[in-house]
Amino acid sequence: MIAIKDQRSKMDWIMEFLTFIVFAGMTLTGAVFMVTLHNLVRSVLAMILAFVGVAGLYLVLEAEFLAAIQVLVYVGAVAVLVLFAIMLTQRVSDPNKPTNNAQAWLAFTVSVAMFGILSWVYAPIKWPALPALPTVNNEPVGSVVNLGQQLLGAYAVPFEVASVVLLVALLGAIILARE
């Protein structure tokens, strides 16, 4: 970790570090169980654990809005996903069914390469330790007010384009399901 010289007490730092460890552990455990469990429903539930862990990481970063949206969107979506898994899968639970296929090694290589590249990019950066979250108009940068003003102001076009893309995906899914 980076040396912190500052107004923040050592206690705060330890608490934050512990919280990070807990949530990061939750995310990784969930992710590992998600790909290794043989039972489809259980692995989807492990995915929820990973999502909740990510929401916790957002909280540590003081991005409360993102954390709430993460829980709201993914938990609802995952519930629907579980339903489809139950309805459309022949054998929900089968210990003999392999969880890997021939491309597992390829996927592993790509993942490790990705991890290496990201580490190589991020390792040299000296993350500045801020005494407190910067504020815009008396609100922290990640607050709902500032986020909303950015999304509908400076980033209005990307925001709208993203929603159009989602709409197209939605319509496409309906058309595919109808055929």
Q: What are phi and psi of 131, to 5 degrees?
A: -65, -35
Nearer to other proteins, 84 or 115 (CB): 84
Residue 177 interacts with other proteins (CB under 8 A): yes or no = no
Q: CA 128, CA 108: separation in Å to the nearest integer?
A: 33
Q: Give the range of 25-33, 62-70, 107-115, 126-134 binding other proteins by CB under 8 A.
A: 62-70
Nearer to other proteins, 57 or 67 (CB): 67
Residue 150 interacts with other proteins (CB under 8 A): yes or no = no
- Smallest separation, CB 87 to other proteins (Å): 8
Q: What are phi and psi of 139, to 5 degrees?
A: -120, 145
Residue type, 41: V
Could you say which residues in the range 80-119 bind other proteins, by CB under 8 A? 80, 82-83, 86, 93
Residue type, 147: L
Could you say which residues in the range 26-45 bind other proteins, by CB under 8 A? 39, 41-42, 45
Residue 62 interacts with other proteins (CB under 8 A): yes or no = no
Could you give the count of Cα atoms lying within 13 Å of 95 in the half-sphere of its Cβ? 0
Could you give the count of Cα atoms lying within 13 Å of 31 in the half-sphere of its Cβ? 9
- Smallest separation, CB 109 to other proteins (Å): 33
Residue 47 interacts with other proteins (CB under 8 A): yes or no = no
With CB under 8 A as the contact rule, the residue among 34, 71, 149, 151 that binds other proteins is 71
Q: CA 3, CA 137: separation in Å to the nearest integer?
A: 30
- Contacts of residue 22, defined as CB under 8 A and 6 or more positions apart, other chains included, come to 56
- CA distance readout (Å), 112 to 74, 108, 124, 128: 26, 6, 19, 27
- Smallest separation, CB 149 to other proteins (Å): 12
Binding residues vs other proteins (CB under 8 A): 9, 11, 39, 41-42, 45, 48, 64-65, 67-69, 71-72, 75-76, 78-80, 82-83, 86, 93, 139, 143-145
